[in-house]
């Protein structure tokens, strides 16, 4: 990035953050979701991004060599103390800023190409505090708001239009929105949590969304985890009380079939590789890795030696992961005998300090 482009990006982002701070009060909105968490997004076998804690702020890191080296990709002049969420598809990257102090609505900054000149826009309210709050699609970006709305902005514009809402999808009020994803760039899924006898997953794009009818078994609360693609098969994981159910279909509109479920004491981390599904399930002091072909039986691969909070497969035998230790990224590989090996990839010391001291509004 040239000095002039850096200054232009800084002025635009600073103007946005000051405008947002000026229009707010002194209390933060009630956001649905969890606290900010480290996040990995891989766009290639060695290329990807991470949302990472640093000092009192959160930063965006980038790599082109599988986390052996990293660069700072954080948008400038935006208060990131409340956390960030990131979505990327190819060269297109969208970063959402979670509320912090007087920042009561969320900016979204978008970029394309290696120069990383960030274009800011303003959502109508705050983002939901989950890692799936923002999603890149072909030609648009989607965002899920803490008030239960879903909005979208067409590329080249800064205007966010309503796409759908929890009230529209579930008029009875039994739905808590948790995120949106576009696994193939064209087909979207809105996820939520609610009663297991009601839909918690919806598919569509634009302003047209329909309930995904999953044959969920058991009672209690069901939480739809982000769907993904393994080969040509759609995969929809659902966490229920005490177990994980994995549903598969040839089409996002179904019909959906249930595969063997997994017992788990907490919400697992599930992700798709090119032809199989990976799941990290809490088991005692660490997570056990299991894999399965879509619709097939689960195979135990071994103990990961840590509690994984994010998993990004880049092939059917290798993945990158994040855990509670912010000093490293974990490389996970499956050996020929089916066992699991993990390698710690230490991050440079500057990652821990670049966030600096608290930003004051």
**Average pLDDT score over residue span 218-234:** 93
119-122 and 308-313 strand pairing = unpaired
In this prediction the pTM is 0.88
User: What six digits make up the tokens of 196?
Assistant: 């297991």
Determine how many CB atoms are found less than 10 A away from the CB of residue 197: 11
Which pLDDT band holds residue 34 (cuts at 50, 70, 90)? low
The shares of helix, strand and coil residues in the chain, as percent rounded to the nearest 5, are 10, 45, 45
State the Cα angle at 322 between 223 and 28, rounded to 5°: 60
In the predicted structure, residue 22 carries a pLDDT above the cut 70: no
Please report the pLDDT score of residue 217 as a whole number: 86
What one-character DSSP code corresponds to residue 348? P
Do 28 and 104 contact (CB within 8 A), yes or no?
yes
Residue owning tokens 């966030």: 355
Please report the pLDDT score of residue 293 as a whole number: 93
Reduced to 3 states (helix: H, G, I; strand: E, B; else coil), residue 195 is: strand
Which pLDDT band holds residue 174 (cuts at 50, 70, 90)? confident
Please report the pLDDT score of residue 114 as a whole number: 66
Which pLDDT band holds residue 23 (cuts at 50, 70, 90)? very low
Which pLDDT band holds residue 26 (cuts at 50, 70, 90)? very low
Please report the pLDDT score of residue 255 as a whole number: 95
Residues composing the chain: 361
In the predicted structure, residue 104 carries a pLDDT above the cut 90: no
* Segment 110-169, tens digit of pLDDT: 998 766 789 999 999 999 999 999 999 999 999 999 999 999 999 988 899 999 999 999
* Segment 260-310, tens digit of pLDDT: 889 988 889 999 999 999 999 988 788 999 999 998 999 999 999 899 999
Please report the pLDDT score of residue 3 as a whole number: 38
In the predicted structure, residue 19 carries a pLDDT above the cut 50: no
């Amino acid at each position: 990035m040239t000095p002039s482009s850096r200054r232009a990006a800084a002025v635009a982002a600073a103007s946005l953050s000051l405008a947002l701070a000026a229009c707010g009060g002194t209390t933060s909105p009630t956001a649905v979701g969890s606290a900010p968490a480290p996040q990995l997004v891989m766009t290639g076998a060695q290329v990807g991004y991470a949302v990472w804690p640093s000092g009192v702020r959160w930063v965006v890191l980038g790599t082109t060599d599988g986390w052996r080296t990293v660069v700072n990709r954080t948008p400038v002049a935006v208060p990131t103390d409340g956390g960030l969420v990131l979505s990327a598809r190819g060269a297109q990257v969208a970063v959402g800023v979670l509320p912090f102090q007087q920042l009561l609505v969320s900016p979204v900054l978008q970029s394309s190409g290696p120069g990383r000149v960030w274009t800011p826009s303003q959502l109508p309210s705050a983002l939901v505090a989950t890692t799936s709050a923002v999603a890149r699609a072909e030609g648009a970006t989607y965002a899920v708001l803490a008030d239960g709305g879903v909005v979208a902005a067409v590329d080249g514009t800064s205007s966010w239009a309503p796409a759908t809402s929890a009230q529209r999808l579930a008029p009875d009020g039994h739905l808590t929105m948790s995120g949106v994803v576009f696994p193939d760039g064209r087909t979207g899924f809105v996820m939520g949590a609610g009663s297991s006898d009601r839909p918690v997953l919806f598919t569509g794009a634009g302003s047209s969304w329909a309930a995904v009818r999953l044959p969920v078994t058991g009672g209690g609360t069901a939480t739809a985890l982000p769907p993904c693609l393994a080969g040509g098969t759609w995969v929809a994981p659902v966490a229920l009380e005490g177990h994980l159910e994995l549903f598969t279909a040839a089409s996002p509109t179904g019909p959906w079939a249930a595969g063997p479920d997994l017992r788990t004491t907490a919400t697992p981390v599930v992700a798709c590789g090119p032809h199989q599904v990976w799941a990290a399930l809490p088991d005692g002091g660490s997570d056990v890795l299991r894999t399965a072909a879509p619709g097939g039986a689960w195979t135990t691969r071994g103990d990961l030696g840590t509690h994984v909070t994010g998993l990004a497969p880049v092939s059917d035998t290798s993945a990158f992961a994040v855990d509670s230790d912010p000093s490293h990224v974990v490389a996970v590989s499956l050996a020929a005998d089916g066992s699991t090996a993990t390698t710690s990839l230490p991050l440079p010391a500057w990652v821990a300090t670049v966030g600096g001291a608290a930003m004051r509004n």
